[in-house]
C-alpha cells in the first residue's frame, strides 16, 4: 500500500480519525484555532485528496487552509405571532455550502490565483477547516503543462460561477438524465429560480 492510501484510510470516518490520530487532532485543533482564517500551507494535509483533484508538488500550485464557521443558516425567530410551524426558523439552509464560502474567501485573498478545488480537513464544535488548491494561471510552468494548462486559457473567477467540484455539487451538476432536465446550464437559465 502506498503512502496516500494510508492517509485515505485515516480519513474514512471521524471515528477512525479519533482512534488513530486522537492526540494529533487535539494538538492540531489547538494550533489551528490560534491561526489566521486563511493560512498558506507548504504541503497538503491530505495528499490523497489533493492528488485526486490534480495537485502536484511543482511551481504554480499553492495550498491554503481556510477556517469557516460551522452550522446552517442563522435566521432570527419572528417577534410577532405565528404558529410554530410557520415561524420559518428550523430546517432553513443557505443556497451556498460552507465549502464554497471557504473557496471564495481564498480566491479573494489571492486575487491573482484561480481555485482548482478544495477538500475537508478538520472540524470542531465551532469551526470547519478546508484546504483550497489554487493555481497561478500566469506561471510558465502551468502554461506549459499539458494536464493543467487549460487553467491559463480560461476566463477568471471560476469559483464565483460554481465551476469547482463543490460548486458543481451545490448547483446540482452531479445529477444526470431523467429528473435533471432543468439543472443545466443553470437553474436561472431554465426560469426555475425556486429550488
pTM of this prediction? 0.88
| pLDDT beyond 90 at 9 | no
pLDDT digits (tens, 9 = 90+) for 69-96: 998 777 888 889 999 888 888 778 888 9
* Residue 128 to residue 10: CA distance in whole angstroms: 18
- Three-state secondary structure along 5-49? HHHHHHCCCHHHHHHHHHHHHHHHHHHHHHCCCEEEECCCCCHHH
**What per-residue confidence (pLDDT) applies to 192?**
62
74 three-state secondary structure: coil
Q: What is 3-170's CATH number, 3.30.70.330, 3.40.1120.10, 1.10.357.10, 3.40.1360.10?
A: 3.40.1120.10
**What per-residue confidence (pLDDT) applies to 194?**
54
Domain limits, the chain:
3-170
Neighbours of 52 (CB within 10 A): 14
Considering the chain, what is the average pLDDT of its residues?
Answer: 90
Amino acid at each position: 500500500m502506498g503512502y496516500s492510501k494510508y492517509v485515505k484510510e485515516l480519513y474514512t470516518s471521524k471515528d477512525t480519525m479519533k482512534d488513530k490520530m486522537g492526540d494529533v487532532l487535539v494538538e492540531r485543533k489547538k494550533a489551528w484555532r490560534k491561526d489566521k482564517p486563511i493560512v498558506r500551507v507548504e504541503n497538503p494535509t491530505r495528499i490523497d485528496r489533493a492528488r485526486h483533484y490534480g495537485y502536484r508538488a511543482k511551481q504554480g500550485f499553492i495550498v491554503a487552509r481556510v477556517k469557516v464557521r460551522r452550522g446552517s443558516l442563522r435566521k432570527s425567530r419572528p417577534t410577532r405571532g405565528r404558529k410554530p410551524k410557520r415561524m420559518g426558523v428550523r430546517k432553513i439552509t443557505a443556497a451556498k455550502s460552507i465549502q464554497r464560502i471557504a473557496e471564495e474567501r481564498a480566491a479573494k485573498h489571492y486575487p491573482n490565483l484561480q481555485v482548482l478545488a478544495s477538500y475537508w480537513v478538520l472540524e470542531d464544535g465551532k469551526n470547519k477547516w478546508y484546504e483550497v488548491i489554487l493555481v497561478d494561471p500566469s506561471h510558465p510552468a502551468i502554461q506549459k503543462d499539458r494536464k493543467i494548462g487549460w487553467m491559463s486559457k480560461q476566463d477568471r473567477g471560476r469559483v464565483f460561477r460554481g465551476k469547482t467540484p463543490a460548486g458543481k455539487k451545490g448547483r446540482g451538476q452531479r445529477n444526470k438524465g431523467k429528473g435533471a432536465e432543468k439543472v443545466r446550464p443553470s437553474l436561472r437559465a431554465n426560469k426555475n429560480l425556486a429550488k
